[in-house]
Homo-oligomer: A and B are copies of this chain.
């Protein structure tokens, strides 16, 4: 399917609109101010005598913020935001090299030679500039950043494709591939497609590469069959591959993408949509190796998975991609932002045991892991601006078109206006599963039935196709996705979740925090799971309570058998994404069963 962009879709209300507004009202300024205070904005001045020395990826932090600001400009013009973006544009125009190259780190380090260190993020920063350029152009019609990007692409093309003048062949941190394909989508200029193809196809052939898994240089992309290495780099790469496969109708590339997606979704993904289960290289590990307390699960990695899953829809009309995108969005992505909109998680553990916390601390470096509290800024502060750019662009994830069929991939209170086709979706999803759809000028609508939904009602005839309920000539439809509290088990191959159960309702993963429960949550057993109730909202979504038990038994540590006596305990759960907003606390997604 072709994905509908922000031009044709508008988010109107509901939970996601509240988040979009929170980010506009709080996060946009909070991140800008933090970047200003820490010298990241000032680095665009390219002053070698600046108080804060520029870092190789600082350009990307700020320009990712600009991408987010651009989306907000598209929703409602704001001179202050526009001025900030233009201030950055002016500095880039002033400080770019003659041939179009721009990088604040290299600008203040004239002793260094550009494109000689594959780990120095130059092409990564360039990619984020290109994404901001696309966003700003689509939101305002102003091509100032597109021009900067175009000249920069010419420079990169000359050095990498014509002169072979760089010390490496493909980026050490992928991102530019998908960014070039966005430039191509918007401009139609094949130079962007050519450079993207070059970076994708040359990768993994060992030409001035280290053949390492860390940044996916171990094999050519069409031979990749397992998600490995740094998980953000991986999913940015896979997103570029999916875009390229769709644009170029490249079947081997599409097949590789499907393999990689299935490998993640079936072997290497937390229930929250978190990926990358070790801090060591921020990387994927082997299948089913998904520890809860030591989860890395970077916010950016879940965002990258959301990008990848969404783009897979361009290759195949199957609801499984939107299922994964939804899982990541409402859990592992949203958890990266505090309820007040000004603090962030870089890593997103699925368990915080304050006892073990002190154990880890005994051996751990100061900016410690696992993290227990959101922070206002990080040394490597990629996640906060990634949230700033994601939230205002969420509407772009909702719909797709293939021929005469409009696909509803994500349920948002929103409206579509595309070539005479008007669709209005009214819902408070995921607070509940009631969805009203008004359609006109639409020949066929395909409504995704989520993987979590075991029963639903639709007041119209439909046929099921690849996870979508397809209705011909729709007008007024009511879809009710039954949304009971579910107790979910993990594949027994996941050691960390054996004998445990997680609570979900709709796409929302729940967690227990000690602050809500006056007993040790790690000594609680879900057991009988009686008297399940859905209660008042916390963080905009309902809480859940039910009764399980704790145990008392023989006062010995080890025995051939124990016959414990149960003490009923009522446990309160909040949406996982809202954890750690009330101080440090024990937290668990997976409860003893």
Residues of chain B with a CB closer than 8 A to A369's CB: 362-363
The answer to whether A564 and B492 touch across the interface, beta carbons within 8 angstroms, is yes
- A63-71, A89-97, A279-287 - the one binding chain B: A279-287
Contact status of A558 and B502, CB under 8 A, knowing A280-B362, A355-B289, A363-B364: yes
Q: A559 CA to B369 CA in the complex, in Å? A: 29
CA distance A554 to B451 in the complex (A): 15
Residue A267 is within 8 A (CB to CB) of chain B in the complex: yes
Q: Does A461 contact B (CB under 8 A)?
A: no
**Does A368 sit at the interface, judged by CB under 8 A?**
yes
Stretch at the interface among A11-19, A34-42, A79-87, A483-491: A483-491
Known: A355-B289, A368-B363, A369-B363. A557 touches B280 (CB 8 A): no
A558 to B502 alpha-carbon distance, docked (Å): 9
What residues of chain B lie closer than 8 Å to A292, measured between beta carbons? none
* A558 and B489 contacting across the interface, CB-CB below 8 Å: yes
Q: How far is the CA of A291 from the CA of B294 in the complex (A)?
A: 14
The main secondary structure of chain A at its interface with chain B is loop
Q: Is the CB of B278 within 8 A of A359?
A: yes
Asked if A523 CB lies within 8 Å of chain B CBs, one says yes
A255-276 residues with Cβ-Cβ distance < 8 A to B are 265-267, 269, 271
Q: Kindly state whether residue A207 has any CB partner on chain B within 8 Å.
A: no
User: A498 in the interface, Cβ–Cβ < 8 Å?
Assistant: yes
A365 — which chain B residues lie within 8 A by C-beta? 363
Residue of B nearest to A285 (CB): B355
**Min CB gap A294→B, angstroms:** 5
Q: A454 — nearest CB in chain B belongs to which residue?
A: B560
B559 touching A488, Cβ below 8 Å? yes
A361 contacts chain B at the CB level, 8 A cutoff = yes
Is the CB of A252 closer than 8 A to any CB of chain B? no
Bits for A543-565, please: 1 = Cβ < 8 Å to B, else 0. 00000000101111111111010
Q: Which of A289, A362, A495 counts the most chain B CB atoms within 10 A? A: A362
What's the minimum C-beta distance from A521 to chain B, rounded to whole angstroms? Answer: 10
A493 at the interface (CB under 8 A from B): yes
Contacts of A278 in B (CB 8 A): 355, 358-359, 362
A356 within 8 A of B: yes
**Is A52 among interface residues, defined by CB-CB distance under 8 A?**
no
- Inter-chain contact B266/A557, CB cutoff 8 Å: yes
The answer to whether A532 has its CB under 8 Å from any CB of chain B is no
Chain A 205-253 interface residues, beta-carbon cutoff 8 Å to B: none
Q: A358-B278, A556-B266 are known contacts. Are A493 and B551 too (CB-CB below 8 A)?
A: yes
Contacts known (A289-B355, A592-B498); A491 close to B558, Cβ less than 8 A:
yes
Contacting pair A557 B368 (CB below 8 A): no
Binding site for B on A (CB under 8 A): 265-267, 269, 271, 278-280, 285-286, 288-289, 291, 294, 355-356, 358-365, 368-369, 454, 486-495, 498-499, 502, 522-523, 551, 553-562, 564, 592
